[in-house]
Amino acid sequence: MPYLRILAAAVIWGSIGVAGRIAFGAGVDPLETAFYRAAIAFLAVGAGVAISNPPLLRVRRGDLWLFAAFGTLSIAAFFFVYLYAISRTSVATAAILLYTAPIWVLVLSSVLFHEPLTGGKILAVVLAFTGCILVVRGYDPQGLRLHLPGVLAGLASGFTYGMYSIFGKTALRRYSPLTTLVYALGIGAAVLGAAAAAAGVITMAHSATAWAAIIYLSLVTTLLAQWLYLSGLGAVEAGRASLVATFEPVVAALLGYLALGERLEGWQVVGGVLVLSAVLTVRRLRQAGGSPQAIRRSPG
């Protein structure tokens, strides 16, 4: 079921913050972490596709620009700014800032895919965005200023993540989720590798704990979660998929509290409830609403 796959991806993505903090605590730089995350995932999926179904690696020359933009903006840039935000703020703050993405997705989907911007969708966005403000403690401007670089990186992760749905929806009109993953991850890993090498932050001399966190980020939160999300995205509107995935910051906040001892204030809990309400609103819209033609825009 497409929506369940998207929700499963969101739950897995909610663990990125904890795994990232473990890697940072073991001495791995955020840019280096982003590079290894993309590179290991690319090698795994690329090898698997090359062995099991080589025709999936064929793409039209004219579509290389799409994968180049996808890999550069929504893999390389997204992986780095999100991990950087996690390193400079709390896990919950970074995850919620990521979910400014539905605002970008709904607007861009309306323009690019002619998906209707209904009152229900607008309500869901308002709920999600209000929840974001509360979870990042927007009611405490002084606290936000202390973490301004991380907050800006978190907002940037929202935009680049929003573009992930736009690029992914376009690619899935023509290619399978596996093809899309191979090329997006490959180009993203190349861009991140060049940046990490220039910054001099790539090393193999890490502890077993660091490598365990890196491998988890690569194979579980990247490869498995992105396959689940992309395979679900092919059957639903990009805007609705992105809104369902807003369950991720609720999971991230809970894991941050349980695993890292990050405290949640009362208003932050209210914010998490609002985000969950946005997810439930999308679910109700689907049950009440559109015909298959309105919901299902498959890549063909």
Token reading at 55? 């025709």
Q: What is the mean pLDDT of residues 127-150?
A: 76
Kindly state the average pLDDT of the residues 229-238. Answer: 76
> 147 vs 94, 150, 219, CA distance in Å?
11, 5, 30
Q: Which range has the worst mean pLDDT, 37-51, 144-158, 201-215? A: 144-158
Mean pLDDT of the 252-264 span: 86
pLDDT tens digits along 171-220: 878 888 889 889 999 999 999 999 999 999 999 999 999 999 999 999 99
Query: Tens digits of per-residue pLDDT, 242-252?
Result: 677 777 888 88
Burial 250-260 (b: 16+ CB within 10 A, else e): bbbbbbbbeeb
pLDDT band at 83, cuts 50/70/90?
Answer: very high
* Residue entry with tokens 């090393």: 203
For residue 212 the two structure tokens come to 């365990």
Radius of gyration of the chain measured on its C-alpha atoms: 18
**Residue 299: is its pLDDT beyond 60?**
no
Q: For tokens 């972490």, name the residue.
A: 33
| Distance from C-alpha of 233 to C-alpha of 151, rounded to nearest angstrom | 28
The pLDDT assigned to 188 comes to: 96
pLDDT of residue 271: 84
Q: pLDDT class for 295, splitting at 50, 70, 90?
A: very low
